[in-house]
Amino acid sequence: MNSRHRMIGGVLAVVLTVPALGGCGTSNREWIGDKYNRTGPDTYRSSKAPQAVASEISRKFKPIDRVDNLATRGSTGGIFLQYPKLVVGVLPTGSGSRITVDTPRRGYSRYHSHVGGVWRSPGSNGWTSSGVASFRGGGPGSGK
């Protein structure tokens, strides 16, 4: 391969790599904030039904677990997505959805009546990727 072809190949690789990296580093919280209309602190609104919103979020960020009790609880139910460092609640409101984004402890506490029999209580550092409580390691002399 001559140097001109190598240069074109290198430029093409850079051009193709940059857009692919554009989505890197976007957190669940940031993405939800950009996609849906903010109505309050860590609370958003969508004109779409909860099932559609939860599917959009789940396609973008695969949850550890999902609890959907809309069929059994109707308008008092919701769809709850468990992530290592977040709980996303998608609840029906009017013809659309209210979306909440909480820390693991706050979300677990807020939605305990929905997820308490399914999810374990989070640790001080949320959950591991398998949904087990995650704790931060102690410093020197911890555990003595």
Q: What is the pLDDT of residues 28-41, one digit of tens each?
A: 899 999 999 999 99
* Of 16 and 141, the one with more pLDDT: 141
pLDDT reported for residue 25: 56
Pairing of strands 37-40, 79-82: unpaired
Distances (CA, A) of 96 to 46, 51, 71, 124, 127: 6, 10, 16, 33, 29
Q: Are 89 and 78 in contact (CB under 8 A)?
A: yes
Distances (CA, A) of 83 to 61, 62, 102, 114: 9, 8, 10, 16
Q: Are 132 and 64 in contact (CB under 8 A)?
A: no
Q: What is the mean pLDDT of residues 64-81?
A: 96
pLDDT reported for residue 124: 85
Q: What is the pLDDT of residues 9-56, one digit of tens each?
A: 444 444 443 333 334 456 889 999 999 999 999 999 999 999 999 999
Please give the helix or strand (H or E) that residue 96 lies within, else none.
Answer: strand 96-102
Q: What is the pLDDT of residues 81-128, one digit of tens each?
A: 999 999 999 999 999 999 999 999 999 999 999 999 999 999 888 888
Mean pLDDT of the chain, nearest integer: 82
Q: Are 80 and 87 in contact (CB under 8 A)?
A: yes
Structure tokens that stand for 90 in this block:
């998608």
- Given pLDDT bands bounded at 50, 70 and 90, which one contains residue 129? confident
User: Which residues are paired to 88 by β-bridges?
Assistant: 81, 101
Alpha carbons 79 and 93: distance in angstroms, whole number: 13
Alpha carbons 101 and 81: distance in angstroms, whole number: 10
- Given pLDDT bands bounded at 50, 70 and 90, which one contains residue 2? low
pLDDT reported for residue 69: 97
